[in-house]
Amino acid sequence: MRIGFIGLGMMGHHMVANLQKNGHELVVFDVRREAGEEALSRGARWAETPADAARQSEIVMTSLPGPKEVELVALGENGVLAGAAAGLIYVDVSTSSPTLIRRIHQVMGERGVRVADAPVSGGVIGAEEATLQIMVGCDADLFDVISPVLRGIGDKITYIGDVGAGEVAKLCHNQLALVVQQAVAEALTLGTKAGIAPEKLLEAIRGGAYGRSGGGIGPGLERTTLQGDWDRPRFALSLARKDLGLATDLASEFGVPMPLAAAAEQALIECLNRGWGGKDMTAAFALQEDRARVQVRVKAPAKT
C-alpha cells in the first residue's frame, strides 16, 4: 500500500522502518529533511509538503508532538487536506486532542476523506520492535481496512470506538501513569528520608498487595528513575506535561474532578520552569527529591 508518513521523530522513524519491512511503499515528510535520510536510503520517496504526501498516497499517517502540529499538518496551508482526493484515508497516531480529531473528521469527511485516530503506547522500544499498543477510534468498517497497516507497527491493536475514542483512551492511560509516578516518588522519598534503605523499601512494597499488582514499581524503576537517569529522554517531560494537560482539559470538558492529576500537572509545570522539558519524564522524581531534601538511589540491577 502507498503510505504517506509525516513526522519522523523518535517514534515515527521506527514506525516508517517497520512499514517498509512489511512491504509498503512509503512517501515521507518531516520539517527536518535529515530526519528522512534513513527512510530514503531504504527506498522511500520524499514529499515536499504534507499536501504532496497526500497526493501520492492511499493512506496518510501522522506522528506529531501535539494538537497544534496535528491541526497545522492536517488542515493548514499545504496540509494533508490541501492535497487530498476523495477516498484518501488519514490516520493520526499522535497523542492529541479528541475534540480536534473529531473536527478533522468532520472537515475531511466533507471532501470524501476517511479519518481515524490511532494513538500508540509502548515508547521508543515498542516503536522499534513493532510491539506498540494501538488504540483506534474510527468507523468500524474503516478499522477493518487499516488494521493490516497498523499490524506493521504494533502487535496489540484495540478498536476503542468512534473517532476520538482512541485519543480518550490514550489520555486516560497517560494520566494514570503520570499521576502514579508522582505517588511513587512521594512514597519512596518518605521511606528513604525516614531511614529505610531504598532496596528494602521496594522489597516490602513489592511483596505487599499493591506491589503484587505491579502498578508503577516495575523493574524499569531501578534501571532508570532510581539511577537518576534523566538526561536520555525516552519520553520527554515536555510531552508528558502536554499529555497530562490534555487529560485535565478533557476532564474539565466533561466535568470530572481530578485533583491528583491537577497536582501532578503542576509538578510537571514546575519541572518545565526549571528547564527540564528536554529531560526524561521521570525527572519529575527529582523534583520530589528536591522538595523532600533526600535522594533515592539503588544499585543498578544486573543486565539480563
Q: Which amino acid, 260?
A: L
Torsion over CA: 247, 252, 258, 263 (sign) = positive
Q: Which amino acid, 8?
A: L
Query: Which residues participate in catalysis according to the annotation?
Result: 170
Task: Give the list of residues 6+ apart from residue 118 with CB closer than 8 angstroms, or none.
Answer: 91, 92, 93, 134, 135, 136, 137, 138, 146, 150, 166
* CA distance to 15, 184, 187, 207, 208, per residue, from 212 (Å): 33, 15, 16, 6, 6
Q: Which residue from 294, 62, 287, 41 is spatially nearest to 181, judged by alpha carbons?
A: 287
Contact between residue 22 and residue 2 where contact means Cβ atoms under 8 Å apart: no
